Structures are given as structure tokens and as C-alpha cells.
Chain A
């Protein structure tokens, strides 16, 4: 009985939280004007969430591509079709690994930093002080960070996939000796721009919105203490990961139903 009651209260808590996030999302959109009229606010956030995530994204992309190349070759050569390695690497990166892994890395690198920054501004009453100065913290602090993340994410995912394909090419063409022409032409024949590339970009945009929203929300909503901030950071990483994987499942089932 107790367990059931607890489950009920958790469910109510989740629904309540969802409604709160939805309202917060709406507020961000309403107060987004400044993020675009005063572009240097958003550019600053692009630096912190985009440029500073660059290194980890590029390096991870390369390694994921290298591993895909090795594993793909190992499997494909059993069926005598190691020429299709480019196809396999490109499709797995474009459709799934690029957006998802880049999203997970982005959440733990940039999302957590955004949560920490906003949370600490709350702890030190900077947000309240701003509000008392008749400057909306949502317009001035939250919205630029949100948009910075939303813009960075698809760019980072594209760079991740590019690096991954380069990694696959290194393994396949440079180390194993698959024909360079076969590698690219097989890939091009199998990869459809609208179906594979564009759907991947759409996925990464959706992940960008989800992660950025979660990150700014957790920071803004945190209990204003050191412990509260650290919990909020953990929540950002965990719920971003869950949101990315759940969204990925839903979007995949819509996008790639036909095949």
C-alpha cells in the first residue's frame, strides 16, 4: 500500500514538474527578444557552450569513428562486403550516434556548466538583484544561455559525425586499404540527404532544445544552497540523458518507420 502511495506521489510530482517546465519554456520564448536584438549576449553563451565543447566533441567523434571502422570491417568482411564500410559508418553516425552521443557529451559538458552558473547566481542572489534592478533574469540570463545551447547542439553533432566519418575513413581506407573511391561512392549511393542527413540534424536540434531547457530550468529552479546546486547539476546530466534517449526512440520510430 505504502509503495503504491509513494508511486502516486512521485507521478504527481513528475506531472507537476512537467507543467512547470512547460510554463518556463513559454516564458523563455516570450523573453527571447533580447537574445537576438543584443546578439553579443548570445555570442558569449555560444562561446561557453559551443566553443568550449569543441575539443571533447571532436576527439570523441574521431574515436567513435575509429571504433565503428574496426568493428564494421570485422563484421562486414564476413559477408564479403567490406566496401560498404563507409555506408555503415556514415549511416550509424548520421542517424543515431552523431546526435545521441554528441547530445550526451553536450549535456555533461555544457549543460552542467549552465546549470551550475545559473544556480550559483541564484545562491548569491544575483538573480534577485537583477530582478530588483528591473532587469528580467529570464531575458538577460536564461534566454541567451538557452539559445546558445540550441544553436550549438546541431553544429556540434554535425562536427561529431564528420569527425566520425573521417575516423572510419582512416581505418578503412588508410589502414585496411579499402578502395577510396568505393568507400565514398558506396556511402553516397546509400545515404539520402533528406532521409538520413536531415533527419539527423532534426534530431540534434530537438536534443539541443531538450538539453538546454533542462539545464537552464534546473539552474533556475535549484534550491539556493551549495548542495542544491550540486543536486541540480546531477539532475541536469541524468534527465538530459534520459530525455535524449527517450526522444531518440520516439523520433526514430517516426522518421525511419518505412524501412
Chain B
């Protein structure tokens, strides 16, 4: 896998905050970066996703909101191959639905799952090295410095087993490990869970930096709607297995339709 570190040329109309048409991100002629169509998935007989339609342009940062049990986690799992699904998920035109998670990961899709994602008995440094195991050895030291600059709290714990970190530190390590892979598409499931408010903002600053400077496309599930709407270029609201509303975060701030669809009536 080659390093994905282009300063994204994928914002033909002025960056992720602009443009109404997310499919424009794929370049003028080529297929869109990510196109999900008619995605249905579930667990055994229980259907959770009921036909998801979604197009994400390269370099976008998309937030997914929605009540508990709506299927947000299941959506990310279907995208990364952890649950099987029907329909179609194309990454730059390549069908990835039906591929094993490790093969999807090798195409540059890194999923930081809900709640965990670190190797507890391995040290922090080893965790970061695992994240980079598909990359050239010569890049690893520099990537490690960069990730540690994003999460300086980890620096002091490099030789400690990941399992001995605090919950918030583990969450940072999980994101740091994902960044070590230099993903093209980063899927994050409630990365702010268990983080102090200040740390949460710091984490989202990092995500924004990665998104803007490295051109990494980000899909982040986030319960904190205010935060998601502030940082993401678009917010999707999921309700019982469907994407109920998609809009531009900057324009549909809280208090507009997103707010009534997700946050409930205005206080």
C-alpha cells in the first residue's frame, strides 16, 4: 500500500465546507470516493440496515448522528467488512462489500471500533507499530513522531502495556494506531466516549488536522451533536437503519432541521 499523504486536490469547489454535491470529491470523471447503495445488513435474521444510500467525496469529514440502536455502529461494521451485507459499497469504484475485514483494511480503510481497538498486552509503542505494519519500515519512525505530536500524552507511556492506560488514553491510542496506517478512509465509532471535554476537543482538532492536511476522508459516529456539527463538513442522521437526513453541518446548525430530527424540539 502506498502512503496516502497527498494534500488533497479533492475539493474542486473550495474545500470540504463548500459544495453541495458530495460526489464531486471523486474528481471530475472518476467514480466517487465512496458510494454506498442499497446497503442492507444485520445480525442473523435481525435486519439492522435497511437500504443505506450514501456518497462521500474524498477529503470529506462526515459525522453520523442518531439515537441508540439506530444502526450507526452496524453501518461502520458493514463498511469495514465486520458484518456481512447486501447491496454495494464501492471505494473508488472497487466493490469492497463481501471482502474480509483484513482485505478492506489493506485497501486503506481503517476502522476504530466502539470501545476498544488496542492490543492490551502489547506496549503502546508496539500498538503503534502494529498500526503501521503494512507500511514501509523507513516511514514508521517519522509517522510515530507525528502521531505522538498529535497525542503527547502517549509519549510518557510508550513502554507500558496498552491495557494499563486509562480509558481516555486507550481511546487516543486507538486513534493514533489508526493514523499510523495512513488510511484513505478513517471510520471512527464514538471516539470521544469517555474523554474529558477538553480532550474531546483536542481529539477533534487532530481529526480535523488529519482530514485537512493529509486529505484523509473521515466518517465519525458521534453522540455529541454540537461537536459533530462544528467539526464535520456534513452530518447524517441515522434512524432505525436509514439515513434520515443529510446536510451540510455548517448550514444546518443545531436549531435547524438536524436539531429537531435528532436533538428533539428546541429547548
Q: Do A and B bind each other?
A: no
